[in-house]
Amino acid sequence: MNPSWKETTIHERNRKIFAEELDAFLPDAILDFHVHVFNAGVVPDGEPFSCAGHPIDRYDLQELAGDLDAAYPGRTSKAVCFGFPEVGYDRRKNNEYLAAACDSQQFFALRLFDPVEDEPAGVKKDLESGRFRGIKPYPNYVRKADVNAVEIPEMLPAWVMEIVNALGQIVMLHIPRKARLADPLNQRQIVELGNRYPKARIVLAHIGRAYYLKNVMGNLQALKAVPNLYYDLAMVNHWEVMEHLFQTVPADRILYGTDIPLALAPGKSVEINDQYTYVTPVPWELSISDDHGRLRFTSFLYEELRAIKKAVERLGLPRDFVQGLFYDNGMKLLKRATG
């Protein structure tokens, strides 16, 4: 498979961006709280995953380790890893691989959680084993005809939240519904979840999927007081969204995350007329693609780093903030989630 689609320092153009814009900004240690890893055999034969238009049939820890080095040269990097939450993928094989292969030093595993097929005894045993730091539910696992009708409690039944809460573990939550963070029912159910399970740590992936300013403005007010709620920045490329988050929620709740391997692909997410889309050089079902070849892209990942840096600089935030965001905040969560 041709790895050249990855926009890291394997290409001179990205070495230049890294040297000129990112090297002086990034701390020595980086913890990526949002990475998808899947071993051979998880994806059905002949139906590769489309990584922003680049088909891949696996993404294992070895490949991840190499990509982290190429994305952040000279840094020590760690990652919180979970499988691909697709109903048609082999969830068990993916979970077993991560449980066995994550060393809990560099790589930490979350367990894919399926509310239809998983059973309390099995989940409890897995989470108590110390091999996982929490769970990764997903709207699709509820298997509703309309995935936009899914509600958070359907993704996370009380029995699994009781297990996670008792162990002080993590829920990596990709919230459902079309209006995302702006959805009033989501808002209410996120607050209820945090309050009902105070020892659990709830991470809103992609800042509650608010990739664009219209979706985030005003919608963190009810959430910021919930003490066990966290926000990962995965695939957010929008500096104004970052700035609003950094100004609004407590600094120790913000977690760097990328959505690697997706974030290694060339592209950028953009806001247009109160909506967002991805723009990519090649066709992808979630993007508008540059079929005229007008632009030279870098990775979503570097665009995210640029946005973080710009927001930090505009707000004049201290190095402590940067250190917390990229490493300390997440490491604290992992340490208390050992079970």
Binding site for Zn ion (CB under 5 A): 259
Least Å distance between CB 298 and Zn ion?
A: 20
Least Å distance between CB 38 and Zn ion? 12
Of residues 18 and 230, the one with the C-beta less far from Zn ion: 230
Both tokens assigned to 334? 């992992």
Q: What 3-state DSSP class applies to 160?
A: helix
Q: In this complex, which beta carbon is closest to Zn ion, that of residue 67 or of residue 259?
A: 259
Q: How far is the CB of 233 from Zn ion (least distance, A)?
A: 12
Residue with smallest beta-carbon separation from Zn ion: 259
Q: What angle do CA 337, 39, 288 make, to 5 degrees?
A: 95
Nearer to Zn ion (CB atom), residue 154 or residue 259: 259
Q: What is the DSSP string of 257-296?
A: ---BTGGGSB-EEEEETTEEEEEESS--TTEEE-TT----
Q: Are the beta carbons of 132 and 124 closer than 8 angstroms?
A: no
Give the shortest CB-85-to-Zn ion separation in angstroms: 8
17 vs 98 by CB, closer to Zn ion: 98
Give the pair of three-digit tokens for residue 100. Answer: 């066995």
- Nearest CB to Zn ion, comparing residues 81 and 312: 81
Residue 153 and residue 228: Cα distance in Å, rounded? 17
Closest separation in Å from C-beta 29 to Zn ion:
22
What is the distance, to the nearest Å, from the Cα of residue 283 to the centroid of all Cα atoms in its chain?
23
CA distances from 120 to 115, 123, 133, 160, 237 (A): 10, 5, 16, 7, 38
Burial class, 10, CB count within 10 angstroms (exposed 0-12 / middle 13-18 / buried 19+): middle
Q: Which helix (H) or strand (E) holds 92?
A: helix 91-101
> Which of residues 112 and 312 has its CB atom nearest to Zn ion in the complex?
112
In the complex, the smallest distance separating the C-beta of residue 52 from Zn ion, rounded to whole angstroms, is: 12
Question: Nearer to Zn ion by C-beta: 243 or 259?
Answer: 259
Find tokens 């709740």 and name the residue: 253
Q: Write down the least CB distance from residue 139 to Zn ion, Å.
A: 12
Q: What are phi and psi of 172, to 5 degrees?
A: -95, 100
